[in-house]
Chain A
Amino acid sequence: MTPLLAQFIAESREQLEMTSAGLLAIESNPNDLDKLNEIFRAVHTIKGSSGLFEIRPVTVLVHAAEDLLDALRSQEVEFDRSMIDLLLDAFDQVNQWLEELERHETLPEGLESRARELGGQLRAFLNHRQVETVNEETLTAPTFTELDWLGQFPEHERAALYSQRVADEGPLTVFRYIPDAQCFFSGEDPFYQVRQIPGLSLLAIVPTEPWPSLAEMDAYHCILRFEGIASAAHGELAELFRYVPEQTALLNISPEALAVPVGRPDETVHAEFVNEGLTLANQEDWAGLRGAVEGLRDNYEPETWMASALRWLQRLLDSATPDLTAVCRLLEAMRTGQSPDWLAALAQPLAQTADAAPASAPASRALALTAEEESAFQRIVAEQARSLTLPTVPESWSGRILSIFTCLSNVLRYVQRADLLEELEETRETVLDTHDIEPLKNLLGHLVDAEDAAADSAQELSDSPGAATEVFKAITPTETTTGSEKQIAKILKIDQHKVDRLMDLIGELVVAKNALPYLAQRAEKIYGVRDMAREIKEQYAVINRIAQDLQGSIMQVRMMPVGQVFQRFPRLVRDLSKKLDKKIQLIIKGEDTEADKNIIETLADPLIHILRNSIDHGIEPPEERLLAGKAEEGAIRVNAYQDNDSVAIEINDDGRGVDATAVKNKAVRRGLLTEEQAEAMTDHEAVQLIFAPGLSTAEQVSDISGRGVGMDVVRNSIDRVGGAVTVNSRRGAGTDIRLTLPLSMAVTHVMAVELDGKLLGIPMDLVVETVRLPPAALFSIKHRETFVLRDQVVPLARLRRLLSMDEPATGEAALATLVVKVQGENIGLVVDNFREGMEVILKPMEGVLGSLRQYAGTALLGDGSVMLVINIKELL
């Protein structure tokens, strides 16, 4: 996977999590505008980034969600609870697609219909007027840059319209309407809209992009443009298009603008006729001009451009009072063979002088530009000109002008037109001195013209096919420069695998380091060099300290707030309580408490299970709660805090509690307990039975918390990371479950003991003390060996027996006994001999060995041998 895609997935997940949490907050407080903005921005970010990849379904769906959120935050649509459900669904779907993307790097075909379906549901909340949010401050409709496109309508139709309008002096308005590509999802019907145009005279429907092949065509993606002429006033059309002003261009035109000659170009020079015509026109000698036109007309084939131009000239002259400016313009146009610029004519009447300055010839240029460079150049220059037409505050005026000059001078350098830099510099001085931007405008125009002409030749040189490179394939992976790391501020996001790898390496370092004491021993005992041995030991101390620091630092990196896991809870509680018709308030505290990432990950499933149990079995339905004199709304509290070297998480509900009698009865029925045992059991002990495998107190199996097989699984997974779980329940008043977990399971302190010549590890935190017992100190109570330790009777267990090993007769030798605390009780464990305490990296048993619950895992020792670490709880 490309790092960019990986980054996208990671970032989007983060944003989605934030979004889901935010939506729940909105649900309880729809007026929280800050939250809404936050969500909007998160969704907006995903949409923006998704465009970098070929993942249309994600883009489409997120776009729809964004539109709805945008309408919500600008209060264009009323908040509605069902929106939240739908949005959550949509984001779940996106999440699922991200997973797919992570696995396969692409999305399968055919998801877009699903995206559109969900997107359509989201957009259903918007009625069409709210689809495009319009920022009043910046609203400007697109404008026409030329009217040559009118030439696409047949000349005779335009001619008919022309004469009609000249006769009745009615209004004419040209329009161009480019519906949003997604308009069908906002309830718009562009075709219907167009048919409503008053006085619609001429209409063309043009695709804005090449038609895709039939198989790829998306019928819900509008790629049409509507343009034409209406015999109606500007205002009437504006009224019709008032909801989509940013998609429409409207312009009032005079009938002369219809005079766009079309036809085959011909080579003949018409300068003589044009000059003569202009003279006649300026003398208002219409009859003379008409005669001249008629004399010339037969020289041209009817389908030529010139013939068309002459026909139009004739029409202009046919009017009772021909429009001098229009006639002059058309005549001027004949000189160049280009359509007359009617748009400019509408803006400012043509100066009566005949001779326009010919466009300055392009200066010689050192560099032949590619088509892409040419168009980029054109665009940059044109956009500078465009920005000059927009208003700005006085404070930024000179900043804008200066930046435009910087751009221009850089661009000129790029195209190697250093010869123009001097002119540019002079213009800059003038503009800044006089505060008159006219010279700059002229310069911009000049630049475009010059390049325009030069472009034609450059075009021939470069035959590159304007390649639309697929975006993310084209990115060349680059080596990250060393400089770039330090540029990233405050927070560094690291792939977890990298940290894990570092962790593994440190583990190996610790093990390798542990080899040094062995080496020292060998140096002393086998080679007899004591000094060397001492030096090795000194060095070992140094390395040991560094290794410990290293371990500490990397553990800090792996620390994460437990809140990560809690994030899913509000959604869970909301969904389940809705399903069960219960009212539940979730109160979370201590999300900031930190623990090792692995620990937190093991925590997720057990916690969710406990929570489900509380919701399903713990909290009563509202009626039952009211009968019991409790508040209608139940409360579940989740509280995390650091407790010495461990993290404690308490889940507490005020529900009905665990029915100890019911648990006992069920345990007896299941054969887990004899009647007598049950009889002797306290309620507290009975409640602990919920951790026994295969026990469920719920009379009905529900699809929420299942058959209650969960609690033993909860205990197992907590045990596996060296944690503990306890439960306390008060009948009718609620249940408290407390999980304690080590802060980190990276390094385990174990006490090594010898058994049959081999080393075994016992977790140090269980070890209370070591004693050597003379056999005489042992006595039996109920067939069980015990001894007295400081006035307390402690049961004794023999490790060899527990592990089914032979027990050689020990005679009168003292028994090496390790006192360990298991589930709050002291137990003596007889081993062959004690060895040192040590720090090891505990690797859990894997594969088939994973089922050997008696062992917590293995650890590699400094001399390269493997030590098994015992899981005493299981063993006893």
Chain B
Amino acid sequence: MKRVLVIDDATTVRMYYRQVLEAQGFAVEEAANGYEGLEKALMESFDLYIVDINMPKMDGYTLLRSIRQEPAICATPAIMISTEGQVQDANAAYAAGANLYFNKPVKPDVLALTVRMLTGEKPT
């Protein structure tokens, strides 16, 4: 079972990702901020990270930069999803190490499909 780590400070948003992804047969772990996310990422192995930008303690950019610098986990794909919706956010996301950027809210079918593709999970 492919494992996805969801890092977002909004419980509702985490719950939403969990619902969508669990329905697709993914195992979902949650972290409420970048710091917690980095801890989890370092301790367990995941196939994909879904990262919010604006979070307490450690923001998404910092988290992604840290992930990309950790040899053990740097190759794991990451999606960044945020509310900002401005060009500079997308570019900043890519500069920090995201592989794909979305604006909130991501529709369930788009999210499911993208996560499947980025984790190499075959179509149902």
Contact = CB atoms under 8 A, between A and B. Distances in A.
Answer yes or no: do A and B interact: yes
A246 interface: yes
A396 B68 contact: yes
Contacts of B54: 41, 44
A135 B88 CA distance: 8
A140 B78 CA distance: 22
B95 A392 contact: yes
A797 B121 CA distance: 81
B74 A396 contact: yes
Most chain A Cβ neighbours within 10 Å, of B15, B27, B92, B121: B15
Contact of B77 (A48, A52, A377, A407): A407
A804 interface: no
B117 A478 contact: no
Interface stretch (A253-261, A342-350, A469-477): A469-477
Interface string A386-414: 11001111011011101111110111011
B110 interface: yes
Interface stretch (A2-10, A188-196, A353-361, A709-717): A2-10
Nearest to A37: B56
B72 to A, nearest CB: 10
A141 to B, nearest CB: 7
Contacts of A132: 86
Contacts of B27: 483
A409 B120 contact: yes
A396 B97 contact: yes
B11 interface: yes
Contacts of B86: 132, 246
Contacts of A390: 91, 94-95
A642 to B, nearest CB: 31
Interface in B66-117: 67-71, 74-78, 82-83, 86-89, 91-92, 94-95, 97-101, 104-105, 107-110, 113-114, 116-117
A484 B68 CA distance: 27
B74 A383 contact: no
Nearest to A15: B10
A410 B94 contact: no
B15 to A, nearest CB: 5
Interface residues of A, number: 74
A387 B78 CA distance: 12
B36 to A, nearest CB: 8
Given A475-B19, A476-B23, A134 B117 contact: no
A422 to B, nearest CB: 16
Given A376-B117, A380-B99, A414 B75 contact: no
A471 B105 contact: yes
Contact of B95 (A138, A372, A467): A138
Contacts of A12: 12
Interface in B22-52: 22-23, 27-30, 32, 36, 52
A105 to B, nearest CB: 15
A139 interface: yes
Contact of A414 (B107, B108, B121): B121
B83 A44 contact: yes
A142 interface: yes
Given A47-B83, A410-B120, A376 B114 contact: yes
B120 A138 contact: no
Contact of B107 (A367, A384, A411, A474): A474
A397 to B, nearest CB: 8
A475 B105 contact: no
Contact of B75 (A4, A45, A138, A405): A405
Interface string A122-139: 000000000010110111
Given A383-B101, A475-B108, A476-B19, 20 more contacts: A4-B19, A7-B12, A47-B83, A48-B83, A49-B13, A51-B83, A246-B87, A246-B88, A367-B123, A372-B113, A383-B100, A390-B95, A402-B75, A403-B97, A407-B100, A407-B118, A414-B121, A478-B22, A487-B30, A493-B11
16 contacts: A44-B54, A48-B13, A48-B105, A49-B16, A52-B13, A134-B88, A140-B87, A372-B109, A390-B94, A390-B95, A410-B120, A474-B108, A474-B109, A475-B16, A475-B23, A481-B22
Interface of A: 3-4, 7-8, 11-12, 38, 41, 44-45, 47-49, 51-52, 132, 134-135, 137-142, 246, 367, 372-373, 376-377, 379-380, 383-384, 386-387, 390-393, 395-396, 398-400, 402-407, 409-411, 413-416, 467-469, 471, 474-478, 481, 483-484, 487-489, 493
